[in-house]
Structure 1
């Protein structure tokens, strides 16, 4: 006991020194340095991708008019994003994406909440939800066009069906992995019914729910792009129609430029979901990164 008493102050000083060292190393990093540490890997990945692309073109694998290189595509990309009609097309595509995703969230949350709380509904519809999630979105378009013709409703129908099952499954998984001890504590504190769900189960399920939202957005975005390629509505111009017409005209540099735009939008949305995820982990004290 005497030996432990003599060692305890030394151990406390060592732990305090390590804590101070960790805090000091974090405090030394300026916001600019932190931003650069997050940015340079993406810039390096872009440079590598452009280099590999140029090497493939120089290898002569395909004719330049079939697969143009970055030197031909990047000027055309600048021309595309400089057009006024291009931003109107992006606006229409994003409006469709956000509206469809919002409807999918409402439907997915309602279905996920009901199924997660009822064993009968889970046995009846649990496998069906997973089956819908794995079903290729493009397989819905023949039915959508038959039901709604070539219209906005046909596109929205497939976008919602593509995203809602992933959102529902994310919520169901989050509820399933809520620690039972939290439920017991909540009931001891008087939480019942809707209050238990609102104040305990939903916050505990947030990590899985956010993951489900992210996956749901990915399905919604892919469904939307497929829809805009297949469902061409008169007097409307979207990102998908720009891609469709550039393909029809065999304008490969413009087609690849539009594909790059689709990729950039996807990356930006992913960054927003990443920010939401990091905020959630910080709030829960789970972010242990030391930049």
Structure 2
């Protein structure tokens, strides 16, 4: 039943109706068939088309076999790694390095981003440096890291940090710059100042930009690691994806080269889909920015 005020003011009645509609919104689970059609079918179709075009190019003989091997040869290389029991060891060697290096970059990049965003002097001093480091190809750090630290895991992690920390810090700075000043004033009024304000107000409000920085930071971490493994390969480091790719190139094993490229691509996409894309969707949904 409408109140007397809403009876006299139709606009208030419309506002109440809209708020009631928001309160009664029901979240429905997407049917499995719809998920398959929208999420699974398009990438599967794309992969099938790529394989079909690849096979047609091989059958048409557009180039020599040692330059463009048959997809079956690449599959056979994958099968051989599986039968030897080394496939997951190769993948895990690189993935474990990448995740550990990204965790270290996260621990360094987050406080650095907060410092740059909130202290004007630090921002003036380090802001341009972070932007320049972000645009610098990570592979440029590999020779310096090898000279400083030798061909060791420490050199790999150094390259990852130098590639990922600027992206994470800049993403957080961008997110904080978009936080409405009203949030900060409200936080200070409620006693959320200093580190408490950063934890309870700044970081939650800056999450969209921060998550975008994390996603980009992981991409930089993975690319930096692959560059380091390709250039600074050594038996002492264990066989990772980058070194596997370099060994295949040395042996002129084109199926192995293509397999290494595909595995690197697969791992990068898999981690993005399993970790960062769901996190990004969740953050956007909590802010009403995604269905």
Which TM-score band (shorter chain)?
Answer: 0.7 to 0.9
Give the superposition deviation at 1:278: 1.1
Per-residue deviation, residues 250-282 of structure 1 (Å, max 9, x unmatched): 111122112111111011011021011111122
Give the superposition deviation at 1:27: 4.5
In structure 2, do the counterparts of structure 1 residues 258 and 114 end up closer, same or farther at CA, with 3 Å as the change threshold? Answer: same
Partner of 1:141: 142
RCO comparison, higher one (Cα < 8 Å, 6+):
1
Q: Distance in 1 between matches of 2:136 and 2:30?
A: 46
**Match among 261, 284, 287 for residue 287 of structure 2:** 284
TM-score (structure 1 length as normaliser): 0.87
Partner of 1:212: 213
Partner of 1:261: 263
In structure 2, do the counterparts of structure 1 residues 77 and 119 end up closer, same or farther at CA, with 3 Å as the change threshold? Answer: same
Give the superposition deviation at 1:141: 1.2
Per-residue deviation, residues 80-135 of structure 1 (Å, max 9, x unmatched): 34431222222211111111111111111121111111111111110000000110
Q: Distance in 2 between matches of 1:280 and 1:28?
A: 18
Structure 1: segments with no counterpart, 5+ residues: none
Q: Distance in 1 between matches of 2:53 and 2:89?
A: 33
Q: What secondary structure does 1:167 align onto?
A: helix
Q: Distance in 1 between matches of 2:262 and 2:223?
A: 14
Partner of 1:194: 195
Contact kept? 1:77, 1:258, Cα under 8 Å: no
TM-score (structure 2 length as normaliser): 0.87
Give the superposition deviation at 1:234: 2.4
Runs of 4+ in 1 over 4 A off after TM superposition: 26-29
